[in-house]
Chain A
């Protein structure tokens, strides 16, 4: 039997959702018939709108897909302006204020508290400036990720941007690929540093050399079926295909068509292509692709550069894109740390000013939730670096600030079990004040996800934190599972979950104790990841030692049982939602 979601998709899906969305926006939230809400909310995702959690009815999260995290001159300002104008609601965040934008781990932007009634104006403004929320969520080609400096990164061996641009233009809005069994996440990268993070995507194109007609040619090796969600993490698997840049769209489209036709539409939990690759094996994937979905002879895989991957790999070299780096054209790109990816709207606008003053006005978003200002000439660098705003968004932050990644969590997300972003900010600040990293360690990644969906990519961090619950003195409290030793690189590894259900207030102490043990037991100058690897799970569980410290957590209680965790009156029914366009509550006699 097809699922409800499949049935709704077969009725209305893809581009055509837009006219309905605009009609509802025109007539107001109340005009969506009650018995059609579930269906419409599912469909709205295709246009980037995700209904927020219980207690926040009538408010939406809006995701803007920025292919490869690329913001052209002027677009960062537009993001700041729409955040300021539309992303305010009844709740105020104690750290980030009233209006803010989130940079996501897939190089997109998320805004919260969006009213349906504002969507037409918001879309008009975005689209007039070359931005869109189309296919940002839903069962289709999602925002394509890669190295955001493609085309101008001094470490790249092939410019991936023309390929990303072609894929984005071809598959955004293409009716043949708009209704897939599930999301389709693609990474295309041309740098030898591994910053595309292809291993955790449904489809990865990775730079590789191949001898073609006697000539060493640069193109891409193809991997399929990576993903982190639901306790079923997979690395993308090598299907033994090399593709030239000019054929990348044909092969990528062939694979998404294969997924469209053969993915599991009966069971959404089994729908991602990672499960089809499990079932078929890579040889069959290649065979079916060749026979049914491309009309030229596929090349076998070329010689990759995975042995040069450093991004999020925990060793030497570029683990992220924070800091000052050379561009191909001799100018510089400056990676700024955005703690947990969240920036106040006013800060976004101020940074847009700086990008214009010192760079070209362009900006780039990274998969570690940071922002890059490119095109800064050598002679402007010092003055740029001395700007006050960069005290907060630093190109040289504490490793604990720099390594922090966090998802949305109970603030807005239905699936969440615990509070995430604000908590990770508190963790990072406490660690910065209270913990020293051992000699020579200047990178330490801590990723916090509110549930197993793994939006913060916890399994590929030095310390992985995942939302759970436990009891402390008999009372239910928010807790975290602790995993260790994950990372990408030539041989990617997922974290091993060694300690479960640690009350949140004991987690900073656990990290402190773990780092002390690392310092004490470390052999020579081994990396944290190597250190973790040579210990078994029981040994590691002993090294973690959860402990109460001076860290205090004000959000120990069930933050999901609130309409907004930071409200004065926070109980589920104390909030104003659902509300009219102007924010006044809709009452039953309306």
Chain B
């Protein structure tokens, strides 16, 4: 099962199988102890740098900012959705805590 993943319009959104799935301007709560000193960084998504897949999880490398402390940067790979029978299923990104992981390239 091949899936087409890309970042488009200068980092505005993530496309999965030619359909816009994740957009900048969302506010995520992260489990990202290395990113800033906040217990649960409150992270505004400003720009998608790249998108990848880890097993059946779609992950994105994003630039943004923690609105509690102001730290900016790329906190690592963040899960944004899952593949289920080849179909993309959104995570409830704005209501769960998303774990950041170090790089996996693909």
Q: How far is the CA of A363 from the CA of B9 in the complex (A)?
A: 32
CB contact between A414 and one of B13, B17, B18, B44 (< 8 Å): that residue: B13
**B102 close to A (CB within 8 Å):** no
Indicate whether A451 reaches chain B with its CB closer than 8 angstroms: yes
Render B1-31 as a binary contact track against A, CB cut-off 8 A, 1 for contact: 0001010111111010111100111010000
With A34-B18, A38-B18, A42-B8 known as contacts, the answer to whether A451 contacts B23 (CB < 8 A) is no
Known: A451-B46, A500-B70. A54 touches B23 (CB 8 A): yes
Cβ A35 vs Cβ B67 within 8 A:
no
- List, in ascending order, chain A residues with CB within 8 A of B61's CB: none
B interface, CB within 8 angstroms of A = 4, 6, 8-13, 15, 17-20, 23-25, 27, 42, 44, 46-47, 49, 65, 67, 70
Contact of B67 among A416, A451, A452, A469 (CB under 8 A): A469
CB distance from A535 to the nearest CB of B (A): 21
In the complex, what residues of A have CB within 8 A of residue B24's CB? Answer: 414-417, 451
Say whether A38 contacts B6, CB under 8 Å.
Answer: yes
16 contacts between A and B (CB under 8 A): A35-B17, A36-B18, A37-B19, A53-B23, A269-B11, A269-B49, A414-B13, A415-B24, A416-B24, A417-B44, A451-B46, A452-B47, A453-B10, A467-B25, A479-B67, A501-B70
Nearest CB on B from A434, distance (A) = 28
CA A58 – CA B49 in complex, angstroms?
Answer: 25
Residues on B with beta carbons closer than 8 Å to the beta carbon of A415:
9-12, 24
Bound Cα distance from A41 to B11, whole angstroms: 15
> Chain B contacts of A500 at CB under 8 A?
70
With A500-B70, A560-B23 as known contacts, state yes or no: A54 contacts B4, CB within 8 Å.
no
Q: Are A54 and B13 in touch, CB under 8 angstroms? A: yes
User: Out of B6, B10, B46, B65, which one reaches A4, CB within 8 Å?
Assistant: B6
Q: Shortest Cβ distance from A271 into chain B, in angstroms? A: 10
Q: How many cross-chain pairs have Cβ atoms below 8 Å apart between A and B?
A: 69
Q: Which residues of B contact A417 (CB under 8 A)?
A: 24-25, 44, 46
Residues of A within 8 A of B11 (CB): 269, 415
Residues of A in contact with B (beta carbons under 8 Å apart): 4, 34-38, 41-42, 53-54, 230, 268-269, 410, 414-418, 451-453, 467-471, 476, 479, 500-501, 558, 560
Q: Are B23 and A469 in contact (CB under 8 A)?
A: no
Q: Is the CB of B25 within 8 A of A469?
A: yes
Q: Is the CB of A38 within 8 A of B8?
A: yes
State the CA gap A479–B17 with chains docked (Å). Answer: 33
Give CA–CA (A138, B40) in the complex, Å. Answer: 39
Closest to B6 in A: A4
**How far does the Cβ of A144 sit from chain B's closest Cβ, in whole Å?**
22
Chain A minimum-CB-distance residue to B5:
A4
Residues of chain A within 8 A (CB-CB) of B8 are 38, 41-42
A453–B10 Cα distance when bound, in Å, is: 9
Q: Return the chain B residue nearest A51 by Cβ.
A: B9
When chains A and B are docked, how far (Å) is the Cα of A417 from the Cα of B49? 17
CB distance from B89 to the nearest CB of A (A): 16
**Chain B interface mostly helix, strand, loop or mixed?**
strand
Contact between A34 and B19 (Cβ–Cβ < 8 Å)?
yes
Chain A residues closer than 8 Å to B47, beta-carbon distance:
230, 452
New A-B contacts (12) at CB < 8 Å, excluding given A54-B13, A415-B10 = A38-B15, A53-B12, A414-B12, A415-B24, A418-B25, A451-B24, A452-B46, A453-B10, A469-B27, A469-B44, A471-B67, A558-B25
Chain A nearest CB from B63 CB (Å) reads 9
A136 to B6, CA, bound (A): 24
List A contacts of B15 (CB < 8 A). 38
- Which of A36, A38, A41, A416 is the one whose CB lies under 8 Å from B25? A416
Chain B residue, CB-CB nearest to A416: B25
Q: Once the chains are docked, how many angstroms separate the CA of A560 from the CA of B65?
A: 18
A479 to B15, CA, bound (A): 27
6 closest A-B pairs (Cβ-Cβ)? Answer: A414-B12, A417-B25, A415-B12, A560-B25, A469-B44, A37-B18
Query: Which residues of the partner chain A approach B27 to less than 8 Å between Cβ atoms?
Result: 469, 476, 558
- With A54-B23, A268-B10: A501-B18 Cβ-Cβ less than 8 Å: no
CB distance from B92 to the nearest CB of A (A): 13
Instruction: Kindly state the separation between the CA atoms of A558 and B11 in the bound complex, as whole angstroms.
Output: 19
B41 CB to closest chain A CB (Å) equals: 13
> In the assembled complex, which residues on chain B have CB atoms less than 8 Å from the CB atom of A560?
23, 25
Residues of A within 8 A of B23 (CB): 53-54, 414, 560
Question: Which residues of A lie under 8 Å from residue B25 when comparing CB positions?
Answer: 410, 416-418, 451, 467, 469, 558, 560
Determine the chain A residues whose CB is within 8 A of the CB of B46 once the complex forms. Answer: 417, 451-452
Asked if A468 and B67 sit within 8 Å, CB to CB, the answer is yes
- Cα A34 to Cα B19 with chains together (Å): 8
Assembled-state Cα–Cα distance A416/B13 (Å) = 11
Report chain A residues within 8 Å CB of B18.
34-38
What residues of B have a CB within 8 angstroms of the CB of A453 in the complex? 10
Docked Cα-Cα span, A476 to B68, in Å, equals 12
A137 CB → nearest B CB, Å:
11
Q: CA–CA, A558 to B26, complex, Å? A: 9
Chain B residues, CB < 8 A from A470:
67
A418: chain B residues within 8 A (beta carbon): 25
Choose from A35, A42, A53 the contact partner of B4 (Cβ within 8 Å): A35
- Residues of A within 8 Å of B4, CB to CB, are 35
The complex places the Cα of A470 from the Cα of B9 at a distance, in Å, of: 25
Q: How far is the CB of B7 from chain A (nearest CB, A)?
A: 9
